[in-house]
Amino acid sequence: MAEKPQLVSISPEDIETDECLRTYTHIYSPDLLIDQVAFITGGGSGIGFRIAEVLMRHGCDTVIASRNLEKLSEASKKLTGATGKRCLPIVMDVRKPETITAAVDETLKTFGRVDILINNAAGNFLCPATSLSFNAFKTVMEIDTMGTFNASKVVFDKWFKDHGGSIVNISATLGYRGQALQVHAGSAKAANDAMTRHLAVEWGPNGVRVNTVAPGPISGTEGYRRLGGSHAETAGAFRGIPLQRAGNKTEIAHAVLFLASRAASYVTGTILVTDGGAWLTSTNDVEQMLGFWSAEKRKDK
């Protein structure tokens, strides 16, 4: 049998927790986003935290906005400490447009501008459709889909309409093949993918680019824990992914950095799937997913 080639790892630095990177190797110029301001929903944890860090390492100031002030304040201290850039934590609920309006007003008062909006806030969990309450489905739609529209509209009306800007939505590949136990999040993200194209078309003349990053399984995140990532890894399920591993948060942040920055100046209305090819090949085993779901439910009791 032919020997497996010795592959050089090309994945960038990452750490599992919501801490800043101990080392970071720039791929783009450290000045790529100099003097810009990014508004990141859900920027206090997981993928959103790493996006904030990587944007700040490229010269940007940030606003991180979500519901939990304690988490945001701690994250903001870490981010400023590691990058030397400013990071303003703001309490806001993407389901409540008036809180977004207040947050964007505060952003403009503090920084005088906003150049980038990252719609990253979301809620997700595994649940078979028959066990999903009407309210649970509605809540996920409200956070993921309406939240993305609400934040985009407020930032557009208050700043992007007259100054241009870049929106990057964080989506998922769940709906591409109808992932089991994910009708709520898959439906919400599919709507967001359509929203990306609608808003790209409508707001292009205002100098606004609207794009999406669709991550696959990303280690060191709440999503990975809740959706059975470690379980899948232990069971060897990632060997079926073309790149044969989960992604990391820095890899998602790099995809976002590309789309948010002038490196993607002629890119709008696109969905950049960042999943190592996972959705093309991954198994969609309903029995196995149901088994994992019931085991987790038993643990919760």
Q: Which stretch binds ligand NAP (CB under 6 A): 103-111, 155-163, 211-219, 281-289?
A: 211-219
**Residue nearest ligand NAP (C-beta atom):** 46
Q: Got the DSSP string for 220-283?
A: SSHHHHHTTHHHHHHTTGGGGSTT-S-B-HHHHHHHHHHHHSGGGTT--S-EEEESTTHHHH--
Apex 262 CA angle, 256 and 268, nearest 5: 65
CA distance 10 to 113: 35
Cβ neighbors of 56 (< 8 A, separation 6 or more) are: 62, 79, 82, 83, 85, 87
Question: What angle (nearest 5°) sits at the alpha carbon of residue 259, between those of residues 256 and 262?
Answer: 125
Structure tokens at 242: 């073309």
Nearer to ligand NAP, 164 or 240 (CB): 240
- Considering only residues 97 to 136 of the shown chain, the ones binding ligand NAP according to CB under 6 A are 120-124
Instruction: Determine, following the binding rule CB under 6 A, whether residue 45 of this chain makes contact with ligand NAP.
Output: yes
- Cβ proximity to ligand NAP, 59 vs 80, nearer residue: 80
255 lies in the binding site for ligand NAP (CB under 6 A): no
Residues 143-162 that bind ligand NAP (CB under 6 A): 143
Residue with smaller CB distance to ligand NAP, 208 or 273: 273
Least gap, CB of 215 to ligand NAP (angstroms): 4
- Of 141 and 267, which has the nearer Cβ to ligand NAP? 141
- Indicate the residue type of 193: D
Q: Which is nearer to ligand NAP, 124 or 152 (CB)?
A: 124
Is residue 66 close enough to count as binding ligand NAP by CB under 6 A?
yes
**Strand pairing partners for 24?**
none
Structure-token pair, residue 52:
């904030």
Examine residue 47 and tell whether it contacts ligand NAP (CB under 6 A). yes
Distance CA 57, CA 154 (A): 26
What is the total count of residues that contact ligand NAP (CB under 6 A)? 30
Q: Counting contacts by CB under 6 A, is residue 222 touching ligand NAP?
A: yes
* Interface with ligand NAP (CB under 6 A), residue from 224, 258, 279, 292: 224
Least separation in angstroms between residue 2's CB and ligand NAP is: 33
**Smaller CB distance to ligand NAP: residue 124 or 166?**
124
For position 215 contacting ligand NAP by CB under 6 A, the verdict is yes
- The length of the chain, given as a count of residues: 301
Query: At closest approach, how far in Å is the CB of 54 from ligand NAP?
Result: 14
The Cβ of residue 240 has, within 10 Å, a number of other Cβ atoms equal to: 14
- In the block, which residue shows the tokens 């090949």? 281
Counting contacts by CB under 6 A, is residue 186 touching ligand NAP?
Answer: no
Among 38, 94, 180, 195, binds ligand NAP (CB under 6 A): 94
Residue closest to 217 by CA, chosen among 197, 193, 234: 234
Enumerate residues 25-44 that contact ligand NAP by CB under 6 A: 41-42, 44
- C-alpha 301/C-alpha 297 separation (Å) is 7
Question: Which residues of the chain form contacts with ligand NAP (CB under 6 A)?
Answer: 41-42, 44-48, 66-68, 71, 92-95, 120-124, 143, 170, 172, 215, 217-218, 221-224
